[in-house]
Amino acid sequence: MNTTPALAPSETLAGFAALLRDHGLSVGVAEQQAMLQAAMVLGGPNGPRLNAAWRAIACHSAREWRLWPDLFARYWHPERLRGQVRVSGQTRPQRDLRQAVQQMHEQMDHAAQPPPTAAKAAPQTAADAPHAGAGDSEAGTPRAMGGASRSEPQLEALHQRDGQMWLPQELGALQRLARQITAQLRPLPTRRWRNAHPGQRLDLRQTLRRSVAWGGEPLAPAWQVKRVEPPRLFILADVSRSMESHAALFLRIARAFALEAQARVFVFHTRLAEVTPLMQRDSATVQEKINAVTAGFGAGTRIAASLQDFARVHARAQLRRGARVWVMSDGFDTDAPEHLADALRALRGHGARITWFHPTRQAPAAAAVRNAREHIHRFVPLASLADLVAARPVLH
Amino acid sequence: MQTPAAPGDRQLREQLQQVGYLADADLATTVWLAGELQRPLLLEGDAGVGKTALATALAEAQGAVLVRLQCFEGLDLAQAAYEWNYGRQLMAIRLHDGQPGTVKEADVFSREFLLERPLLKAISQDGPCVLLIDEIDRADEAFEAFLLEVLADYQITVPEIGTLRALHIPRVILTSNGTRELSDALRRRCLYHHLDYPTLAREIAIVKTALPEADTRLVEEAVQFVQRLRNEDLSKIPGIAETLDWVNALHRMHHHTLPEDMAVLLTTLGCLLKTREDRFGLGADRARQLIEGRRTVGVAEKAPANAAAS
């Protein structure tokens, strides 16, 4: 569990790059070379200039851009973070992804050794109170999925359960199902035309332009077809404590759609985080990676705040007419009940169509969801793969 | 920021400042590094945060030619890179019609018959050049793939002539509003910077630089108002350009502070709010509340405004 940078510069940088890769940043040899080059020109990683330079080299999207300050500080200045208290009141060092992953491996190797206890988690905030009791014994291990294993040794159990739940043929079936559902998601017709050969109508302007090359003879007509846009799919999966037994299923399903429909996948409980890059890689440890990402989340579920964050920050430019937003949650919200209706109204205002997947047979009876019913296009029960098969005709 | 001996990024920052673009230290370092590593710079951020302005300022600061390629749906090679000047080719052939053997194919497919579009123009500059590829997310994926050759090797291949290499590597700035996911291949060829809305102090400085004649108090109050407005639930968040427009409008109306009369204020809000929903969402009450956030008012005085808004 070594978070202090090693001594040799290349080794140090490689360790940092590994940390970045763990968090879904694509940092290859080319990026590392560029980072080294920048370091040679700008000096050590203590100054703000190198931080800015490396950020420009290693980040490739807004998501990574937002993730950067935390990752940089965590690797190069762990001393600044130690003992730092966040709003949730938990102490910080336990959230290190590298620690978490390493611990995970250790646990898998020496099966069922109880995790070494670090400092106990600080008292939780009032909002966490309903769930607070369970977490204390787990301090020092990642508390993902809202502490997904109160009675069993942590992630190993998740791993096993995952394996039991998902046989290869089931995964294949899920993938096929996702493909079928994606195929029936109605594309959005637009008024625009795009070049295609053969096409429905003659692009007169282009044809005339091309004819100039043949002295005015239209030898190469240009054709156009109607342009349709595939719908954008956003999946928001609730990974709070109340959902711990269903989150694995949700994430599996989300992953299938991330691959088939290029869906963007988010997880939330007190905060919202995008996990799409983790989904796109084929790995059996998706669950654990997501555990690591959400490890810093406090307890409770802030659905309304997460949806607002989603609409205002993460998907702002892409939420357009025809966007599909799938929320997978039981609807228990620690925000005030009326906030959810506002958040959903705002989402609808962007033209998105909202489908709510709930793990129970009946649609969620929580006050927040009842108030917001009119903004939700459809409720779909989802507790197993069979439910998704049954819901197939209505997902379009 | 630390100030080691004459670093290039600091110098660049000063140069940008001289032409009226106030870049923060991180942005200046990134732009400078992009020049050092000869890599394109991809700028993302909401509309109106100064992405395009950076390119124009950089060109001006470095005395470089600015070549701009505005992307749109359906943009193709003929509009972006090059096109044969068919008219001239035909004319050349006709002129030599009576003299067999004088015009060879290579003659009409030479550089002089090539119409330079922005990309080729940028590559064939023999002095410093800034190539701005604006709103790349509006172009199709196919065009993005074509750009890879240009951005990685600074060359364009014309089948009839061969590969044209850049004489002077242009500084390339790509901007995107994030309406479409760009391909990983394109992203990895670029340095990346995400421009956010400026902080209060920086925005005040920007407005003061752009409008030195406007009253300081007006600028400070107006910028504070805009900063608060950005936290509202708007469909189009006002950018820096909008702030400048608004302050300019108020200044020309001879206001030295924010007008007390809400009716006057609301008539000028068209500079900031560009959609009907936003405009109707922000009534006199809400506007007053936003202003009052800055002025110290008693609880009793503020209560009716709150009640009215909720």
Give A258-267 pLDDT, tens digit per residue. 888 888 999 8
Report the pLDDT value the prediction gives residue B220, as an integer from 0 to 100: 92
Within 8 A by CB and 6+ apart from B54, the residues are: B16, B21, B23, B27, B31, B43, B173, B195
**Region of poorest pLDDT, from A177-181, B106-110, B118-122:** B106-110
Q: Is the pLDDT of residue A198 over 80?
A: yes
Half-sphere exposure in the Cβ direction for A326 (13 Å, CA)? 28
Structure-model confidence comparison of residues A43 and B38, the more confident one = B38
Q: Is the pLDDT of residue A124 over 80?
A: no
In the structure, what pLDDT confidence band is assigned to residue A8 with cuts at 50, 70 and 90? low
Report the pLDDT value the prediction gives residue B291, as an integer from 0 to 100: 83
Cβ of A38 within 8 Å of Cβ of B46? The answer is no
Average pLDDT over residues A205-209: 88
Å between B267 CA and nearest CA of chain A: 25
Chain A: residue nearest B184 by CA? A60
Q: Which of A59, A61, A310, A318 to mutate to test the interface with B (most CBs of B within 10 A)?
A: A61
Average pLDDT over residues B251-278: 87
What's the CATH architecture for A96-187+230-396? 3-Layer(aba) Sandwich (3.40)
Contact B93, B103 (CB under 8 A): yes
Closest CA to A298 of A161, A152, A122: A122
Label residue A112 left, alpha or beta by phi (over 0 means left) and psi (-120 to 50 means alpha). left
Q: Hey, how many other C-beta atoms are within 10 angstroms of the C-beta on A100? A: 24
Report the pLDDT value the prediction gives residue B120, as an integer from 0 to 100: 93
Cβ of B86 within 8 Å of Cβ of A47? The answer is no
Between CA B147 and CA B161 the distance in angstroms is 19
Å between A54 CA and nearest CA of chain B: 9
Cβ of B74 within 8 Å of Cβ of A194? The answer is yes
Report the pLDDT value the prediction gives residue A236, as an integer from 0 to 100: 93
Å between A3 CA and nearest CA of chain B: 26
User: What value of ipTM does the predicted structure carry?
Assistant: 0.81
Rg (CA), chain A: 24
Letter string b/e over residues A303-326, b meaning 16 or more CB atoms within 10 A of that residue's CB: bbbbbbbbbbebbbbbbeebbbbb
Between CA B17 and CA B60 the distance in angstroms is 11
> Positive or negative, the Cα torsion across B133, B139, B143, B145?
positive
Residues of B in Cβ contact (< 8 Å) with A213: 84, 86
- Domains of chain A: which residue ranges? 9-81, 96-187+230-396, 189-229
Half-sphere exposure in the Cβ direction for B44 (13 Å, CA)? 23
DSSP E strands: which ranges in chain A? 188-195, 201-202, 223-229, 233-238, 264-268, 272-274, 324-328, 353-358, 378-381
Predicted structure pTM score: 0.71
Report the pLDDT value the prediction gives residue B14, as an integer from 0 to 100: 92
Contact A353, A323 (CB under 8 A): yes
The helix/strand/coil state of A93 is: helix
Q: Is the pLDDT of residue A143 over 70?
A: no
In the structure, what pLDDT confidence band is assigned to residue B301 with cuts at 50, 70 and 90? very low
Residues of A in Cβ contact (< 8 Å) with B25: 48-49, 52
Query: Maximum distance among all alpha carbons in chain B?
Result: 97
